[in-house]
Structure 1
Amino acid sequence: MSEQSTDPKAVVLALVLREIHGTQQVLLGRKLTGFGAGNVVAPGGKVEPGESARQAAARELAEETSLSTPAELLMHRATVLFRFPARPASDMDCEVFTAHEFSGTPRPSSELDARWYDVEDLPLDQMWQDADHWLPKIVHGEQFTATVVMAEDNLGVQRVEFNDWQQP
């Protein structure tokens, strides 16, 4: 089994964080259509031709939640390489960004019904099985590259490897 994908899709996630009454929250949403419908996910999607990952994250956030943030304010927090040995066409290289500054109010879109979740009570049991490995690390400020190798059923996790980024 090779973990080197020949043609992974470039995708992004945008995690908006806020503090309300001393409690940190993250914006996630129930996926309404497409791949992963029914799961709670972070806003995100594919990088379009001609746009940077940061620009794609800002665009996807606006399209899926109605929140806006300038792309330059998004902080790159992680690179997560998803590998599907049983279905290599599903491989993804995901750049994950966080935002602490935004404008607007979350509104449901055709793809996502977004709402705020307490960082200390993430809905991991309603998310893809890999999320519990990397999402808590990101919302707690860690920076890393992770390789997530999915199980043969394309749902479970076979293995996760982390390489922390060196802090300046």
Structure 2
Amino acid sequence: MSAPVTLCFLLRTNDGHEQVLLGLKKTGFGAGKIVGIGGHVEQGESVVEAICREVAEESSLTVEAMDLIPAGTVEFVFPAQPALDMFTTVFLCRRFSGVATESDEIAPQWHDVEQLPHEAMWADAVHWLPEFLTGWRGHWRVVLNDDNETVASSTRTPANVPSLVENFGS
């Protein structure tokens, strides 16, 4: 069974450039990579509650449930190590408060949306992240190769946005 995970990509405009908050992962799975802000959904927690908590824990920023923009989902499949499988709910957010601050787990960094640091990210991010950031909504399924790093296949299915929003409830 895939672990429920959630990610939130905070967006801002700086000097006329749209930027997204990513972070250098300092510990755990993916350490050393540039990743999105987020993490596992805890028992009894909704995905909305989880992402609000994770954003605060990892960046010191505050996001409100009503400001989250449902983008879709990404199912990560690790055939060589099924215990790593994840079902990830992805949000965008343009309204937040506070200043991004380094935590024990993440060193947050703003990046221009047009110049994402793909070489420092998971290999799968190039498939789905630019799509979500430019307005595409739906579901991705990413199957990793046996090295648990490179992508064997990546497929997407567009979503009906009203039903997508209903499925995220708070």
Alignment TM-score, normalising by the size of structure 1? 0.94
Tell me the distance in 2 between the aligned counterparts of 1:109 and 1:71.
22
Identical amino acids, percent of aligned pairs: 45
Name the counterpart of 2:165: none
Structure richer in helix, relative to its length: 2
Contact preservation (8 Å) 1:8, 1:92: yes
| RMSD (Å) for aligned C-alpha atoms | 0.9
Name the counterpart of 1:81: 75
Partner of 1:34: helix, strand, or coil? coil
Alignment TM-score, normalising by the size of structure 2? 0.93
Q: Residues 114-156 of structure 1, C-alpha deviation per residue, up to 9 Å, x if partnerless?
A: 0110000000110000000001011111101000000011110
Name the counterpart of 1:14: 8
Tell me the distance in 2 between the aligned counterparts of 1:142 and 1:50.
30
Tell me the distance in 1 between the aligned counterparts of 2:120 and 2:63.
27
Which blocks of at least 5 consecutive residues in structure 1 are unaligned? 1-6
Tell me the distance in 1 between the aligned counterparts of 2:4 and 2:161.
25
* Paired letter, 2:109: R
Pairing partner for 1:151 from 131, 136, 145: 145
Pairing partner for 2:156 from 148, 151, 162: 162
Partner of 1:142: helix, strand, or coil? coil
Name the counterpart of 1:93: 87
Contact preservation (8 Å) 1:54, 1:72: no
Contact preservation (8 Å) 1:84, 1:149: yes
Q: Count residues with an aligned counterpart.
A: 162
Q: 1:1-168 alignment to 2 at 5 Å?
A: 7-167=1-161
